[in-house]
Amino acid sequence: MKPGDAEAVEQLFNDAAPSYDRLNDWLSLGLHRQWKRQMVLQLSPQPGEQWLDLCCGTGDLALALARRLRPGGSVVGVDAAAEPLVIAAQRSAREPWLPVHWQQGDALNLELPDASADGALMAYGLRNLADPAAGLRELRRVLREGGRAGLLDFNRLPSGTAAAVFQRTYLRRVVVPVASRAGLAEHYAYLEESLKCFPDGPAQQQLALDAGFRGASHRPLAAGLMGLLTVWT
C-alpha cells in the first residue's frame, strides 16, 4: 500500500476495526494507553472546553477526554473510516452521559467552523494523512486563539541508529507476525512503509510553525520509538 493513499488507508482501518484495540494492547503491552494519558495530561483539558479527536478510530481517546470535560464541555470525534466509528458509537452508548459526538470526515477538510475548538488530539493519524502539512494547517484553522493540540505517533528515527534498527526489527518480527494472526499482516506491514516519508520531530515542529501555530514542541516517548508533537496558538 502506498503511503498517502487516502482510500487505501480508509480501507485499512475499516478492515482492522474489529481487531484494532486488541492488537494495539498486545503490540504495545498496553503502553499505548499510557502514552495517550501523558498527552492528555500535558494538554490539561478543562471542564467546559470544546475539543476534537481527529482520526479518532474506535474512540478510546475521545471517551477518556470527554470524561475530563464535564460539565459543559464536549468532544467531536472525527474519522475517515466508517467501521471504527461504529465501534466508537457502541462504546459511547454504554456511557450516554458523556458529551461526545462522532462524525465521519476528512482531517484535511473538516466540516467545522473556523476557531471552533479549544483543543485537539490526534493519535496515530498524522502519519496516515495524504499531506501532513495540510493537516496541520486545517488543525490551526479550527483552533481558537489560546488553543492547543497534541499529535502522538511513531517517531521517525535517524537511519542506521540502534533505535532505528530496533524499531524496524520490532515492526518486522513482532508487529507483522502478530497482526497476521488476525489476517492483517499486509495492513500492519504498512507501518514501516509509512514511516519512510513521515517527517521527523524537528521537521514536524517546522511544519507546525509554517501552518501558523505560535509554538511547537516535539519530544520522544518510549525510548524514542514514539513521538509527541505539541502545538499551541
Placement of cell 466508517 in the chain: 82
The set of cell numbers assigned to 112 is 467545522
- In this structure, is residue 139 part of a structural domain? yes
Greatest Cα pair distance, the chain, in angstroms, is 50
Say whether pLDDT at 5 is over 70.
no
- In this structure, is residue 62 part of a structural domain? yes
Q: Kindly state the percentage of the chain with pLDDT values over 70.
A: 97
The DSSP code for 223 is G
- In this structure, is residue 191 part of a structural domain? no
| CATH number for position 10 | 3.40.50.150
Kindly report the backbone phi and psi dihedral angles of residue 66, in degrees, each rounded to the nearest multiple of 5, phi listed first.
Answer: -60, -35
* Structural domain count of the chain: 1
| pTM score | 0.92
3-state SS record for 166-198: HHHHHHHHHHHHHHHCCCCHHHHHHHHHHHCCC
pLDDT at residue 7 in the model: 76
- In this structure, is residue 188 part of a structural domain? no
- In this structure, is residue 164 part of a structural domain? no
- In this structure, is residue 215 part of a structural domain? yes
- In this structure, is residue 64 part of a structural domain? yes
Q: What is the DSSP string of 14-83?
A: HHHHHHHHHHHHHHHTTHHHHHHHHHHHHH---TT-EEEEET-TTSHHHHHHHHHHTTT-EEEEEES-HH
Average pLDDT of span 140-162: 94
- In this structure, is residue 187 part of a structural domain? no
The residues, ordered by sequence, that sit 6+ positions from 11 with a Cβ below 8 Å of its Cβ are 81
Q: Which residue segment(s) compose the domain that 16 sits in?
A: 6-153+199-232
Q: Of 194, 39, 179, which Cα lies nearest the Cα of 125?
A: 194
Q: Of 74, 57, 95, which Cα lies nearest the Cα of 65?
A: 74
Q: Of 61, 19, 69, which Cα lies nearest the Cα of 44?
A: 69
pLDDT digits (tens, 9 = 90+) for 37-82: 999 999 999 999 999 999 999 999 999 999 999 999 999 999 999 9
Give the C-alpha separation, 191 to 171, whole Å: 8
Which of 1-10, 108-117, 168-177 is least confident?
1-10
- 29 confidence band (pLDDT: 50, 70, 90): confident
Residue type, 163: A
Using only C-alpha atoms, the chain has a radius of gyration, in whole angstroms, of: 17
Give the C-alpha separation, 209 to 232, whole Å: 10
